[in-house]
């Protein structure tokens, strides 16, 4: 491990169903996992980039969210294992920087999507695409007026690399400031898929942030970074991927084959 210069600490479940399913594992990944990575960075003299999250802002009372906002988080709510896990991971980074001189980079990542997402990820974009492709109702939690801002995965990757290679040690938002309501997303995805699915309204999720929009002035100014992939272009790529995946799954269902005749003592025995 002597030749490690950079560590990207991207580990942690990120979709609410995933991190709520195993809150203890989520906490351990973000606390013990982060301590392990910071210890490694210290030992080998590497720079560590932490994948933090817009969730550190909680259900924000400031809009759009900039890096100086301290957040509005319920420490005992269903999302706390993730929100507070990431908040303390940031705290750990700056403790190691201050006390041990470890170089840290903290990316506050806003909603991201793209091909190769897990199909049953449980996040809104993958849910809607899957539902639209399968002709099922698109499920909207609450009235659909809550907003999200989605960036395409390649934009995020470019932002992470730019941040890692910069000299900016304070947190930086990486996200797309183009804000849409959840209902608008549902309608757009329906249109792009060409689906006749209806939109179904379910009861609201607890502690679901009502607004999400990154202020990315800092990334623009200090990293020269901003998202460049238009929403529809990114969605079309994701839809194409999901369509292929569904076809692949449909064509490759495991079909039990009849057992071949077994050879035994030179004779063929038919079952």
Furthest C-alpha separation in the chain: 80
- CA distance linking residue 14 with residue 116, whole number of Å: 15
Q: Is 82 a catalytic residue?
A: yes
- CA distance linking residue 165 with residue 226, whole number of Å: 16
Cβ proximity of 43 and 1 under 8 Å: yes
- CA distance linking residue 209 with residue 63, whole number of Å: 12
- Cβ neighbourhood burial of 66 (10 Å; 0-12, 13-18, 19+): middle
User: Which listed residue (82, 94, 96, 141) is catalytic?
Assistant: 82
**Residue whose entry in the numeric block shows the structure tokens 């269902």:** 253
The DSSP secondary structure of 123-177, one letter per residue, reads SHHHHHHHHHHTTPPEEEETTS--EEE-EEHHHHHHHHHHHHTSS--S-EEES--
Q: What angle do CA 212, 28, 70 make, to 5 degrees?
A: 35
Task: Name the phi and psi angles at 178, rounded to 5.
Answer: -80, 110
Cβ proximity of 70 and 87 under 8 Å: no
- Cβ neighbourhood burial of 207 (10 Å; 0-12, 13-18, 19+): middle
Active site residues: 82
């Amino acid at each position: 491990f002597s030749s490690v210069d950079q560590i990207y600490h991207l580990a942690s479940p990120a979709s609410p169903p995933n991190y709520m399913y195993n809150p203890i594992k989520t906490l351990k990944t973000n606390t013990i996992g982060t301590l392990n990575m910071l210890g490694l960075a210290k030992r080998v003299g590497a720079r560590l980039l932490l994948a933090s999250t817009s969730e550190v802002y909680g259900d924000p009372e400031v809009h759009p969210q900039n890096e100086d906002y301290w957040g509005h988080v319920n420490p005992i709510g269903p999302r706390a294992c993730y929100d507070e896990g990431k908040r303390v991971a940031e705290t750990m980074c700056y403790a190691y920087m201050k006390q041990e001189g470890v170089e840290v980079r903290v990316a506050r990542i806003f909603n991201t999507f793209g091909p190769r997402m897990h199909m049953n990820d449980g996040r809104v974009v993958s849910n809607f695409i899957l539902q639209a492709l399968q002709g099922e109702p698109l499920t909207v939690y609450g009235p659909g007026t809550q907003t999200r801002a989605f960036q395409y995965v390649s934009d995020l990757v470019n932002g992470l690399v730019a941040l890692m290679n910069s000299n900016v040690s304070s947190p930086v938002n990486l996200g797309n400031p183009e804000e849409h309501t959840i209902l608008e997303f549902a309608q757009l995805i329906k249109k792009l898929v060409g689906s006749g699915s209806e939109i179904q309204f379910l009861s609201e999720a607890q502690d679901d942030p009502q607004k999400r929009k990154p202020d990315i002035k800092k990334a623009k100014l200090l990293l020269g970074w901003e998202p460049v992939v238009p929403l529809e272009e990114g969605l079309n790529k994701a839809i194409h991927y999901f369509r292929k995946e569904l076809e692949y799954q449909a064509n490759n269902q495991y079909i039990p084959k009849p057992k071949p005749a077994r050879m035994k003592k030179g004779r063929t025995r038919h079952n």
